[in-house]
Amino acid sequence: MKYNLALYLFVIPAMVLFYSCKDNPVVTSLQSDSELKSKIIGTWSNGIITIQYDANGNFQDDINLGDSINYNKTESMKGTYIIQDGILSYNLSKWEIVDTSVHPGSSSSSIPDYKLQIEGNQLYFYPLDILTRTSGTGDEIWGEWSTTEWTINYYPCQSNPALFGKLENIYKFNKDSMTVMHATRFLDHPADSLFFMTEKLEYNPPYLNWGYNYHKTIEFHNGHMYLFEKLNETPAPLLKIK
């Protein structure tokens, strides 16, 4: 989980796909991109999330929340997807909050990238952030990095309650002080100021921790840093329903 300024970053897919976040090794996919692209086409669901992928690279993701008896569609996302090096990435064209009653207060949801695993009719997502270096050199965390993710911020008391777009996450890792400065901003709304927070690091490669909610496993690939969520058990899969 993450925090975006004073808003609680309510990551919908992570909430319904994962039971808890702690410590696990990164899962290595043994499937090729062409195999994943072929197998992912269809409709997948776990009763709360239902995702449709077509052969032309389009997707729709509907989220249904409610009590143990009645489930209503609360959010809907659509856009395009790509699979490269076993990583699923989205490009969203629309993110709609259908049922505002599930958002009684300000909240924010984000969609990360995912490492994929497909076993028969089961689809597993392993969330990660792919960071691009903006200063420093080499396969070390030290220096400045940035990444983006699709995000919607919801403010129920405003006339235009939903702010949707790409959120940039900026990180400055300092080896001398063993700290990280991090901040977020909407790329489409440059007037939103950056608010940097500084926190102490615990770094024992490949594990990286800071604050209460950042617990990561690190990999380096082609000049990028992959930050995986730590999981203490296999994620709950989506099942192929058609």
pLDDT digits (tens, 9 = 90+) for 20-56: 333 444 555 578 999 999 999 999 998 888 999 999 9
Q: Which residue has the tokens 């970053």?
A: 9
SS (H, E, C) 82-125: EEECCEEEEEEEEEEECCHHHCCCCEEEEECEEEEEEECCEEEE
Query: Residue 2: what pLDDT?
Result: 35
- Rounded to whole angstroms, how far apart are CA atoms 131 and 216? 13
Q: Using alpha carbons only, what angle is made at residue 3 by residues 103 and 147, rounded to the nearest 5 degrees? A: 115
Q: Using alpha carbons only, what angle is made at residue 157 by residues 91 and 90, rounded to the nearest 5 degrees? A: 5
Q: Are 103 and 143 in contact (CB under 8 A)?
A: no
Instruction: Give the rounded distance of the alpha carbon of 218 from its chain centre.
Output: 15
Query: Residue 205: what pLDDT?
Result: 92
Q: Are 152 and 163 in contact (CB under 8 A)?
A: yes
The residues pairing with 234 across neighbouring beta strands, listed in sequence order, are none
pLDDT digits (tens, 9 = 90+) for 100-139: 666 666 677 889 999 999 999 999 998 999 999 998 777 8
Listed by start position, the domains of the chain span: 2-240
DSSP secondary structure, 181-242, as one string: EEEEEETT-TTSPP--EEEEEEEETTEEEETTTEEEEEEEETTEEEEEEPBSSPPPPEEE--
pTM over 0.85: no
**161 pLDDT more than 60:** yes
Query: Residue 69: what pLDDT?
Result: 52
- Rounded to whole angstroms, how far apart are CA atoms 224 and 228? 13
**212 pLDDT more than 60:** yes
Q: Are 116 and 124 in contact (CB under 8 A)?
A: yes
